[in-house]
Structure formats: C-alpha cells, structure tokens
C-alpha cells in the first residue's frame, strides 16, 4: 500500500486542475502548419476527383500519399482538436454521404462511428478490420481513489497503431486497395504511390530500429499511454501517467507509483504532447528534478508540431527518445 504524503496530494490537485482545463473539449489555440491543414483537407476536389473523408490525421497522411492528385482528402478532426473526444458538426456528418470513401477506426471516436453507421456512405474502410489492434495497456491501473474518473473508454483495444510505421504501412496498403476498387482507371497510380510510401515507412522503421537498439534507459514515461505500439516494436517499456485517453485523471496513488517507477528505472524525462497541457508532466517532473520533453502521438499536425507531416514528427520523436534515454 502506498501512503499518500501531503506533497503527493498537493501534486494530484495540480494534475486534476490541469486535466480539467485541457479536457474541456476545446482545441488548444494553434496556428495550423499549412493552409491545407487549416481546413482539415488535403488537395482540391476537382472534376473526376475521388473524395475521401478520414477520421484523423495519420489516416489523412496515408490517403493523401496514396491518392496524390487523384483524390481530395477531408479530415474530420481539424488541426488542434483532440481526436479522442471529437464531436462532429451537422455539416461534417452530412458530408459523409458525399464521400466516395470514408476511412476510420471503429472504437476510437464514437461520434464518427455513429455518423458512419447512420450515413449513406457508399464505401467505408474500417481499419480495425485490417490491423490487429493490441489490447489496452493496464499499466496505468485505475485506482478507485476519489477524484479519478474514466470519462472516456476505448473499449479493450489501443487505437494508436500508427506509431508503429509498419502498421501505418498496412493502412496505406488497405487504402490503396479500396481506392483501386472505387477508381479502377487510376489503379496503377494508387499502387505506385502506395509502394513508394511503404518504402518510406520501411526506411523509417529501420531508423527506429538502429536508433533505439542501444539505450541506457529502456523506459519512457508519458502523460498519455499512446505509445504502446512504438515501445513494443522497438524493445522499450511505456509507463503512462494517464490511460489511453489524455483526459483521464491520475489518482494520488497513481502519481506516487509513477514517481517510484521513474526512480527505479532511471528515467530522466517526463514526456508530454502537443495537443494537451504540459502542466501534468511539469508537475510530476518538477517534484523529482527531471526534465520534460515532447513526445507527439501524431493525432494532429499544428504549428507547434515538431514537423510538417507524419514522417518528420516521427523522426522528431525518435530524436527525443534517443536524447532522453541515452541511445547510441
């Protein structure tokens, strides 16, 4: 049993206040990284263009790379929005009926699941039927202490598959297959683009493998337990302060446990992300005289992102882990 010190209780209060502020559903004020990102779309819808609606950014990246100038891609999660608790406008819901293809991940965003189910969308690609999702990590055990709530539920699986480049490549291939069925005249373009993108993702996977092979510290502590696919792929361990939703509030017991684990594993850095507040990470790190740094789950690209697209942010994540964990 972990005894709660006044210092831990005070820290828990800071954490809960910070999470209450960032869990209101209001996007953090960010200027989008590009004009295309500002309206949640990639490419212009011209005559004969295949219209693709996607649920969140990593799917936008995959669809835009595969489709090139043959498709227009609309992202239902706008830059700066926290995708876990997304609410759709009536216009967004109505737009699904006009899309030639809707790409989503069932179980991740309930509002999109409901809209897709009720829409008259002609073609739907649910990537949970293509990619074997991992069971939800239980490392962030939800204590029954007063003040902790579970206001968001992903069910029994972890949706953040795209943080493993080899699984993002599977999404690319699945989207290429669907586009080839819908627009057979451009099948060769989709196949060529998919191969090129998959080659890039394979190279990225190689950079991660070589970069994280020799690390002094094998553990990362994150505010949001989104990095299970990444850590499993590259032989690391993830400790999440909160669970799969960044809005979950850790109890005082959880905070104390994380601090003990940080000491035990020789962790130097507490990671936070770009779309939510950094107050939780700073509060916990400050108590242990640790550093803080960004580790981006790439749920959206904004001006605060460490890159303009999926590969560049993934490389920034790799650099952040290497520096924090003493990898060579």
Q: CA nearest 106: which of 117, 92, 91, 122?
A: 117
Averaged pLDDT, 31-58: 68
Same domain, 228 and 316: yes
pTM as predicted: 0.85
Q: Which of 207, 237, 262 is the last residue of a domain?
A: 207
Same domain, 189 and 88: yes
Please report which confidence band the pLDDT of residue 45 belongs to, taking 50, 70 and 90 as the band edges. low
Same domain, 198 and 80: yes
Please report which confidence band the pLDDT of residue 39 belongs to, taking 50, 70 and 90 as the band edges. very low
User: Pairing relation of β-strands 71-75 and 101-104?
Assistant: unpaired
Q: CA nearest 275: which of 105, 93, 116, 57?
A: 57
Beta carbons of 233 and 212 less than 8 angstroms apart: no
Query: Does any domain span residue 30?
Result: no
Q: Which helix (H) or strand (E) holds 113?
A: helix 110-118
Same domain, 10 and 54: no
Please report which confidence band the pLDDT of residue 12 belongs to, taking 50, 70 and 90 as the band edges. low
Q: CA nearest 146: which of 24, 233, 251?
A: 251
Exposed / middle / buried, residue 85 (Cβ in 10 Å: 0-12, 13-18, 19+): middle
Same domain, 199 and 273: no
Is the torsion defined by CA of 66, 114, 88, 133 positive or negative? negative
Same domain, 99 and 175: yes
Asked if residue 284 has pLDDT above 60, the reply is: yes
Is the torsion defined by CA of 193, 125, 51, 182 positive or negative? positive
Same domain, 128 and 259: no
Return d(Cα 156, Cα 231) in angstroms, integer.
Answer: 19
Query: Does any domain span residue 99?
Result: yes
| pLDDT score of 326 | 98
Q: 318 is in which domain, residue-wise?
A: 6-16+213-325
């Amino acid at each position: 049993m972990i005894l709660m010190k006044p210092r831990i209780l005070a820290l828990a209060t800071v954490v809960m206040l910070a999470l209450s502020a960032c869990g209101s559903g209001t996007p953090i004020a960010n200027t989008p990284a590009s004009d295309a990102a500002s309206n949640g779309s990639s490419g212009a819808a011209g005559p004969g263009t295949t219209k693709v609606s996607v649920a969140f950014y990593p799917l936008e990246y995959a669809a835009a790379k595969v489709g090139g100038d043959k498709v227009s891609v609309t992202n239902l999660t706008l830059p700066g929005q926290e995708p876990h608790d997304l609410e759709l406008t009536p216009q967004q819901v109505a737009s699904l009926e006009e899309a030639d293809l809707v790409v989503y991940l069932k179980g991740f965003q309930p509002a999109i699941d409901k809209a897709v189910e009720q829409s008259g969308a002609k073609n739907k690609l649910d990537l949970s039927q293509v990619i074997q999702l991992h069971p939800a990590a239980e490392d962030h055990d939800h204590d029954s202490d007063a003040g902790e709530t579970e206001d968001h539920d992903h069910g029994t699986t972890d949706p953040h598959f795209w943080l493993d480049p080899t699984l993002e490549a599977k999404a690319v291939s699945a989207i290429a297959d669907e586009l080839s069925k819908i627009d057979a005249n451009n099948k060769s373009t989709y196949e060529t683009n998919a191969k090129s993108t998959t080659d890039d993702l394979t190279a990225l996977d190689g950079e991660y493998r070589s970069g994280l092979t020799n690390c002094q510290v094998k553990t990362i502590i994150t505010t949001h337990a989104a990095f299970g696919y990444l850590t499993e792929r590259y032989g690391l361990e993830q400790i999440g302060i909160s669970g799969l939703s960044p809005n979950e509030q850790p109890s005082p017991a959880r905070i104390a446990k994380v601090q003990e684990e940080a000491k035990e594993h020789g962790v130097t850095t507490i990671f936070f992300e770009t779309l939510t507040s950094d107050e939780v990470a700073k509060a916990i790190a400050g108590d242990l005289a640790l550093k803080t740094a960004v580790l981006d789950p790439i749920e959206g690209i904004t001006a605060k992102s460490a890159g303009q697209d999926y590969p560049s942010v993934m490389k920034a994540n790799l650099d952040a882990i290497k520096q924090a964990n003493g990898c060579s």
